[in-house]
Structures are given as C-alpha cells and as structure tokens.
C-alpha cells in the first residue's frame, strides 16, 4: 500500500485530484459510523480526515477504531490538539499554524505530541497550515488566538507557503476555516500553487460541486470537505 504522502505526491504529479471528508468526533455519533462510512465510500473519497477543535481526550481513539471496522479508506488525523493523536489511524498531519504568531501552535503543541508518537506506527506528515479569512469567526481562529491572512493578501499567503516549503513541510494546507462563508479564492490558490513544488490541500466552506471543481482547477491537489457532508450525508458530487 502507498503511504498517504506518496499517494498525494503521485496524484499531484499526474494532475489527479483527491478528496478528503473531514469527520469531527464531537459531531458524529459512533452508531452512525457504519452508514457514514458507506456514504463516504460512495463519494469516492480518498482519505478520511479526523479531527476537531474541542474533542476530549480518548474520544478520537475510539472513533477511529470504529471507522477502521467499517472502511478501508486511509484515516488521517487532523488534530486540533495533541491529545487527539491515536495510533489507530494511518497518518498524522503534523501541523504548524504558519499564518499565526502564537508559539503554542507553532511549536508547543508539537512538543507535547512527542510522547504520544514514541513507538508510534503513524505516518507523520509535516504540514504547513495557513489560515485564510473565510468571513467567519472560525474555531481555528478562536482557539489559536491568531489572525488569519486576508483573502486579498495573496503576497503574504504565497510568502508564508514558500517559507513553509523551505522549512521542510511536505504539504501546504490553505484553510478558510470550517463553515467558512468564503472558501479560499481562486487567485490565492493559483498563486500559492504556482510558487510551491509540494502538494496543496484546500479546505473550508466548500459546499458545492462547482466550488470543488474551481478549487481543483486552480491548483488544489486535495480538497477537504467537512460541514457540507456533516449537514447532509446524502451529499453527492
Ligand atoms: C476545516 O477545511 C476543513 O478544517 C473543512 O471545512 O467544514 O467548511 O468543509 P468545512
């Protein structure tokens, strides 16, 4: 089996587009997992991301275990907090919130995660996480107490992504925030993509097939959809 990062890199090289559905263990009942897994498979989802801003300790491990019993789609942790790390998943986005200036989310959380990662079999993927203003007071914004980059400040977003690449990040994630009013705009995606040679993830506020395709067309290699699926598991693209 391909590692998660190798899968994303290969797809990116070939121009193949990838989809991840994000599940927040806080908002998804355990007994819904069998039906949800079927729906996710029907969407031809490549990865299931699991994470949230307020998930309590121990919950994620049980949640991922249950998912594993119901689907073979690789599970990638997208944690809001180091305590969400569990060995039951396949991979971990080891995030640094590069748009922010809060040391807690640049290095403190990462240090706190280390004891959980000792002897771990998780594939750890260094990821530059960049918060873009999605027009809402997103959870990332509230929790991290950082300012997002304005949708108009393409130069700053590009410089942040390139700095992340130079720092050795393997992926860049442009995030408008869960439930964003405005997904990351086309120009911003295009310019960031043009300036990096690592795969690009885009998420936040993407609800329609048209928005999904626009993100792909402008250079997103992998799009993450959370709320739109959460609100309607009959979602079809
Ligand atoms: C949030 O990028 C993800 O971290 C997905 O956002 O919930 O708006 O789809 P949505």
| Structure confidence at residue 236 (pLDDT) | 87
User: Ligand 1 atom closest to Cα of 78?
Assistant: 4
Q: Which residues contact 38 (CB under 8 A, 6 or more apart)?
A: none
For residue 206, how far is its CA from the centre of ligand 1 (angstroms)? 7
For residue 129, how far is its CA from the centre of ligand 1 (angstroms)? 13
Mean pLDDT, contiguous 10-residue spans, the chain (237 residues): 91 98 96 98 97 93 98 98 96 98 98 95 98 95 96 98 98 98 98 98 98 98 98 90
Q: Which residues contact 229 (CB under 8 A, 6 or more apart)?
A: 21, 22, 39, 40, 43, 235
Contact 19, 139 (CB under 8 A): no
User: Ligand 1 atom closest to Cα of 51?
Assistant: 4
pLDDT in tens, 95-145: 999 999 999 999 999 999 999 999 999 999 999 999 999 999 999 999 999
| Structure confidence at residue 149 (pLDDT) | 98
Compute how many other C-beta atoms are within 10 angstroms of the C-beta atom of residue 143: 16
Q: Is the CB of 180 under 6 A from ligand 1?
A: yes
The domains located in the chain, with CATH, are: 4-231 (3.20.20.390)
pLDDT in tens, 142-159: 999 999 999 999 999 999
| Structure confidence at residue 1 (pLDDT) | 59
């Amino acid at each position: 089996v391909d590692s998660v990062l190798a899968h994303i890199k290969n797809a990116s090289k070939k121009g193949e587009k990838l989809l991840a559905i994000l599940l927040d263990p806080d908002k998804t009942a355990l007994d819904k997992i069998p039906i949800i897994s079927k729906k996710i498979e029907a969407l031809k989802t490549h990865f299931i991301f699991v994470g949230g801003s307020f998930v309590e300790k121990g919950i994620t491990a049980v949640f991922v275990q249950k998912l594993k019993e119901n689907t073979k789609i690789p599970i990638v942790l997208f944690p809001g907090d180091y305590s969400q790390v569990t060995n039951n998943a396949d991979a971990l986005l080891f995030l640094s919130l590069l748009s922010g200036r809060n040391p807690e989310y640049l290095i403190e959380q990462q240090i706190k995660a280390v004891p959980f990662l000792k002897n771990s079999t998780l594939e750890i993927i260094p990821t530059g996480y960049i918060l873009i203003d999605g027009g809402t007071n997103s959870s990332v914004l509230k929790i991290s107490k950082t300012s997002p980059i304005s949708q108009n400040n393409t130069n700053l977003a590009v410089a942040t992504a390139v700095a992340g690449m130079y720092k050795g990040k393997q992926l860049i994630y442009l995030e408008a925030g869960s439930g964003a009013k405005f997904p990351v705009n086309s120009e911003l995606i295009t310019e960031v993509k043009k300036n990096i040679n690592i795969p690009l993830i885009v998420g936040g506020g993407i609800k329609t097939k048209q928005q999904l395709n626009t993100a792909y067309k402008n250079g997103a290699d992998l799009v993450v959809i959370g709320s739109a699926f959460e609100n309607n598991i009959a979602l079809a693209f």
